Amino acid sequence: MHRDLTEHRLSKHHGLGNDFLVHRIGANDDVSAPEWADRARAWCDRRTGVGADGLLLLERKHDGRLGMTLYNADGSRAEMSGNGIRCLVQAAHRDGADGVDGANGVEVTEYLVDTDAGPRRVRVVDRVDADTHLLSVDMGSVSDLEQPRNWEALQCHPDRPVRHSSLGNPHSVVGVDDVHAVDLQALGSLVPHVNLEIIEPGPEPHAITMRVHERGAGITMACGTGACAAAEAAVAWGLVPANAPEVLVHMDGGDARVVVDRETRGITLIAEATFVATITVAT
């Protein structure tokens, strides 16, 4: 007996190598339904599925806002993603004929996105090429967190700078001498419930170099919220000049620019998102 299959149209995007599948949903879809976690695990699997770091559910709301729900590759739900939200907005922007509102012909370049971490404002700054846009995200303010459970297992030297913070999702930033000399997989596996960033200064005076082990995904090529947490830590630790207008964050997948308001700890993330393909899958 053959059961009827439902086809799902997805688009794949990446933000500096941190890749996501975007699924358009309707207002009546339940984003908390257990099948979304199952689909995220199946579709994001890099051997038996399409392959991605996460699944984004995109909802267009009646008031013009967008809704974003993020499931990590392991099926867990995440509050926020700086790379993911840029991919989601790029998908919506491309769906609207590069942001042209057919009702009145006005080009839309700014979007308000509801996330599990609260609303975030995203602006399409530029179209780099046919598949890539530069976007700016108002990421909100950084707040401090308590030391995560099992942190002692990492055995960080007491003189090593460490900062636990939140941008709607949890981060632990550790300053190191050489990010490539650290067994990041081993350390990240000790605290899989947080996003772990290791950073070193430079090579430019206003830059840092970062690697990340993400909650629910493992080592990824880039992390948008992680870049923000790392940049804010670098500012607090004096790793970049006090008068630097922004922090350049080098990651394995590319570079992000982060503007840190030193008084409010407000963060703006500026980086690219790239469309990869449109895929149809059946369940």
Q: 247 - beta bridge partners?
A: 258
145: pLDDT strictly greater than 70: yes
Average pLDDT over residues 203-208: 97
Confidence of residue 3 (pLDDT cuts 50, 70, 90): low
pLDDT digits (tens, 9 = 90+) for 43-76: 999 999 999 999 999 999 988 899 999 999 999 9
Domain that holds residue 90: 7-140+273-282
Strand pairing category for 110-115 and 66-72: parallel
Distances (CA, A) of 55 to 82, 231, 237, 241: 14, 26, 34, 37
pLDDT digits (tens, 9 = 90+) for 169-196: 999 999 999 999 999 999 999 999 999 9
CA–chain centroid gap for 181, Å, is 25
240 vs 27 pLDDT, higher one:
240
Q: How many domains does the chain have?
A: 2
Confidence of residue 6 (pLDDT cuts 50, 70, 90): confident
Q: Is residue 96 part of a domain?
A: yes
Q: Are residues 148 and 136 in the same domain?
A: no
pLDDT at 108: 72
Q: Is residue 76 part of a domain?
A: yes
Among 107, 117, 63, 62, which Cα is nearest to 85's?
117
Q: Is residue 100 part of a domain?
A: yes
Q: Are residues 86 and 38 in the same domain?
A: yes
Q: Are residues 37 and 135 in the same domain?
A: yes
Q: Are residues 89 and 73 in the same domain?
A: yes
Q: Are residues 156 and 76 in the same domain?
A: no
CATH number, position 63: 3.10.310.10
